[in-house]
Amino acid sequence: MESIHIEECTWDANLYDTKHSFVSKYANSIVELLAPKHGEKILDLGCGTGDLANIIYEYGADIIGVDKSETMIEQASSKYPHIQFMVQDAVSLDFHSKFDAVFSNAALHWVLPANKALNGIYQSLKSGGRFVAEFGGKGNVQTITNEMIQQIKEKGLEFKNEQFPWFYPSIAEYSTLMEKVGFRVTFAQHFDRPTQLEGDDGLKNWIDMFASHFFNGIPKNTKNEIIVNIENNLKNTLYKDGHWIADYKRIRVVGMKE
Ligand code: BEZ
């Protein structure tokens, strides 16, 4: 199966940093779960514009960031020139027993097939190394995506399952995949993390940035009408005290290569 990791999505790295900075702001506790140590070799998989790689660097680790998106890597390299960043797809990692830890935040829900990525992660780790990840879990942003699909269909347009760009597994499903490639799963958690989007246009901006696949082939005017309908229908549930709140659900996992 091919990768859908950000394949048709042209990432705007500036927009990502200014309007979607919550992606790395929420991430401090996953870095704590990683607990980077001085001198450890760590891979940040799906590093985006590099903010977490830099935090891990400040712990004294020897960090390399990889991301499939060239624009993200360009931005990361110009923000943090002291860190090595490389364009690399999570499903074709080419490292062998190199890292003490592989870390990934808010990226693996874009990566299919998950078992191919997990194999590459496992190969990248030294024996005794750890894999620490957080990403969208079962039910993630479902209130938003159900409404998007409903509104696309109400316009008389087709929505095919293949257009759904994300993989949101349960912890049972993902732990099983991890075990199949050889990991001992030492931690797995699935939790709600309501996420405030910035500004009155927060939901529209989120859809424009992350969910453009849903509108492939739909003219811009129609897309805009659909987004207005989505906003109107979700206002009661997801708009509170002047902010849009997205119904994020995360999974966190830790696996050991023994
Ligand atoms: C997430 O981090 O859960 C996420 C981000 C963008 C699109 C979909 C999910």
Task: Report the pLDDT value the prediction gives residue 2, as an integer from 0 to 100.
Answer: 26
Judge if the beta carbon of residue 11 lies within 6 A of ligand 1.
no
User: Where does 2-256 sit in CATH, by number?
Assistant: 3.40.50.150
- Tens of pLDDT, residue by residue over 119-136, are 999 999 999 999 999 999
Which residue's C-alpha comes closest to atom 1 of ligand 1? 136
Which residue's C-alpha comes closest to atom 6 of ligand 1? 210
Structure tokens at 40: 């450890």
Judge if the beta carbon of residue 20 lies within 6 A of ligand 1.
no
Judge if the beta carbon of residue 215 lies within 6 A of ligand 1.
no
Judge if the beta carbon of residue 107 lies within 6 A of ligand 1.
no
Stated pTM of the model: 0.89
Select from 73, 169, 27 the least CA-distant residue to 112.
Answer: 169
Residue 8: pLDDT over 50: no
Q: Pairing between strand 249-256 and 125-136?
A: antiparallel
Please give the share of the chain, as a percent, with pLDDT higher than 90: 85
Query: How far, in Å, CA of 5 to CA of 91, rounded?
Result: 9
- Tens of pLDDT, residue by residue over 194-215, are 999 988 999 999 999 999 989 9
Give me the residues paired with residue 188 across strands: 253
Judge if the beta carbon of residue 248 lies within 6 A of ligand 1.
yes
Q: Which atom of ligand 1 is nearest to the CA of 249?
A: 3
Substitution site in 20, 22, 140, 251 for ligand 1 pocket (most atoms within 8 Å of beta carbon): 140
Domain range annotation of the chain: 2-256
